[in-house]
């Protein structure tokens, strides 16, 4: 699924593994949402220098090296982790969400639940319209049973 991760992402994932910290624990220390943190670790977000300094201290990495890996290497390459061929704008946006956040979400699900999947059969979904002063927002809730993979 993931062809190649940038060097900074590889360093972050290796350091995370060594530390034993979850994305949720790292997010609390960094002051960001855990999905954003996971997206950063998989090359789908751009950290600030403050984020880099906090991550470097937390994960025992060189801040200078991470700055080079993230800040000076250009913008993140968002999307492209999963291929799509749809042309419908609404459907494409759903694919875009999963291009950017699918792999990070999968990693978070595995951390929280173990090796398995969210059921699309034992499943509920709800769509809400959320009025805000800047314009309406879409809120989609996905609620599926967790199905662990079982060894045979």
Q: How far apart are CA 139 and CA 129, in angstroms?
A: 6
Q: Annotated active-site positions, please?
A: 93, 96, 119
Cα–Cα distance for residue pair 76/5, rounded to 1 Å = 11
Q: Which contacts of 14-21 are long-range, i.e. CB under 8 A and separated by 24 or more positions?
A: 15/59, 15/60, 15/61, 16/41, 16/59, 18/59, 18/60, 19/58, 19/59, 19/60, 21/58, 21/59
- Cα–Cα dist 51/117, whole Å: 31
């Amino acid at each position: 699924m993931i062809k190649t991760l940038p060097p900074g992402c590889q360093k972050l994932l290796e350091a995370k593994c060594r530390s034993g910290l979850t994305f949720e624990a790292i997010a609390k220390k960094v002051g960001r949402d855990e999905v954003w943190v996971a997206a950063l670790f998989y090359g789908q977000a751009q950290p600030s220098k403050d984020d880099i300094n906090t991550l470097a201290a937390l994960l025992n990495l060189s801040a200078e090296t991470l700055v080079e890996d993230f800040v000076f290497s250009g913008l993140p390459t968002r999307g492209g982790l999963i291929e799509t061929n749809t042309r419908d704008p609404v459907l494409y946006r759903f694919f875009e969400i999963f291009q950017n956040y699918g792999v990070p979400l999968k990693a978070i699900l595995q951390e929280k639940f173990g090796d398995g999947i969210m059921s699309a059969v034992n499943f509920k979904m709800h769509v809400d319209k959320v009025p805000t002063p800047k314009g309406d927002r879409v809120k989609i809730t996905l609620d599926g049973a967790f199905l662990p993979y079982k060894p045979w």
